[in-house]
Structure 1
Amino acid sequence: MKIAMTGATGRVGSRLLPHLREQDHDVRALTGRLEDTGAVRELVDGVDAVVHVAAALRTSTDFEGVNVHATRALAEASKDVPLFVHISTNLVYPGGLGRPATEDDPADPDQAFGDYPRTKALGERAVLDTREATILRLAFVYGDGDPHLEESLRWASAWPGHQRLHMVHHVDVAQAVEKVLGTSATGIFNIADDSPVTAVELHQLNGLTPDEAVQQDFDPWQGIVSTTRAQRELGFRPRYPSAWAATVSGAL
């Protein structure tokens, strides 16, 4: 399959790209900026699928410009491409649900999480208002040498010890994308492993002994999602059902 891909140099994209090529896909990566309309048109010309991974994450970047406006422009430029896969985040879900979030819940992120989830939610809507597409809402991505897991302690160290984080390994991100490419399924899918980890376990995964847990109010379901739809419609099952399974396999 001929695939146009954005974000190939980022943490998710740089690990996804070799997986796709190992499956004999002909992957064309964006070499310029996502805001470059000429480069985008050239990127999507004649391909079978677009895999849109690029996103603004850091505070110094243009969240609205990249995650909303450039994403909409990419979707518009690829209206003739049969399949459009948009990589998003489970942070778009609101808190207070009292259960794992499902794909039918609104994309209404908590303002406390900042511009990234807010603009990712807007970017999803921009894509779906433009064309039929597949939205993959990823849990916290880790593994394959990604420093993301270690960086999690910057904020998880202030969590109550029993607060949980839903995660997904880079290998399973690639698996989910491959499932979409193989089935041409459209719609919204949560992509996560089977076993969210606690703040205590995050410290242990990083080889540390957690300090005494901070006691504070928190929503035990915030960031926890249901993967039932992805399992049923895509046949998705995480190869690493938990971070502990990845640790035992030497995949961190």
Structure 2
Amino acid sequence: MRDPSRAEALRARDVEVVRGDLLDGASLEAAVRGVDAVVHCAAFFRGATPEQAHAVNDVGTQHLASAARAASVQRFVFTSTGLVYGATGGRSAREDDPCTPAPGYPASKLAAERALFAIDNLDVRVLRLPFVYGDGDPHVEEVVPMMRGFLPTQRMSIAHHADVAQAVARVLDKASPSHRIYNVADDEAPDLATLFASVGAPPPDGSAAEAARAFEIVLDNRRIREDLGFRPEYPRLQDAIAAGTA
């Protein structure tokens, strides 16, 4: 359960905070009443069993979507993950490519995407996010222990917080076909040695190269650039580092 005190900064900016539970569909009705659009970012990732991931990320998303449809919400934006593609082996994955996600979190996100697209009378957009970083987020430091055995040359798409926010704003404001999927990513996918170095960590040692394959995912961002005019504010990790926002 989230700590309610963490919402105080939002309240100070006149943001109305409504409490709900994705596992309880009735609790979501107040959150969607009278709103034009829903941007659904909640998920259970680290530490989730496959059953928990399914309950929150798939079934919970369906609960929220059903509430949004009943409230006549005009647009529903779902933040999914590039992990739905499965390992790409360094090849850039495009939105129409087949998906072979690993069990658990990645599979639950793909299941949620497909469930959303099957709901009648709901205008859905899906943003498939890569590894997200920036603005003081400790995400890079947190994954260093988990990825210690990965190959230092392995590449992985990333996106700065500012560019994720840009993608959300564009998909809300721009006209585009319903049931559209967009990859969101920087223009450059760094190797893990470079990513680790950005937080002063030595490169990974390659001792768990086979397990690392599931995270070797590079995203092609041409569709969102062409459809919505998306241009990363930080096209490369080095740009964010130089700006002091990594």
Q: TM-score range by the shorter chain?
A: 0.7 to 0.9
Output the TM-score relative to the length of structure 2: 0.84
Shift of 1:70: 1.4
Secondary structure of 2:45's aligned partner: coil
Shift of 1:119: 0.5
Shift of 1:157: 2.1
Give 1:230's match in structure 2, choosing from 220, 224, 229.
224
Secondary structure of 1:50's aligned partner: strand
- What is the letter of the counterpart of residue 238 of structure 2? W
Residue in structure 2 matched with residue 74 of structure 1 by the alignment: 64
Structure-2 change in CA distance of 1:36 and 1:216 (3 Å): closer
Residue in structure 2 matched with residue 207 of structure 1 by the alignment: 200
Secondary structure of 1:164's aligned partner: coil
Residue in structure 2 matched with residue 147 of structure 1 by the alignment: 138
Structure 1: unaligned runs, 5 residues or longer: 1-6
Shift of 1:42: 1.3
Distance 2:208 2:144 in 1: 17
RMSD (CA atoms):
2.9
Shift of 1:65: 1.4
Distance 1:221 1:126 in 2: 24
- What is the letter of the counterpart of residue 150 of structure 2? W
How many residue pairs match? The answer is 233
For 1:211-241, what per-residue CA distance to the aligned partner results, in whole angstroms no more than 9, with x for missing partners? 6555946769931011000000111111011
Residue in structure 2 matched with residue 189 of structure 1 by the alignment: 182
Secondary structure of 2:172's aligned partner: helix
Structure-2 change in CA distance of 1:98 and 1:238 (3 Å): closer
Pairing 1:27-106 to 2, within 5 Å after superposition: 28-60=16-48, 62-79=52-69, 80-96=72-88, 99-106=91-98
- What is the letter of the counterpart of residue 128 of structure 1? F
Structure 1 residue ranges, 4+ long, deviating more than 6 angstroms after superposition: none
State the identity %: 38
**Kept after mapping to 2: 8 A contact 1:157/1:199:** no
Pairing 1:125-140 to 2, within 5 Å after superposition: 125-130=114-119, 131-140=122-131
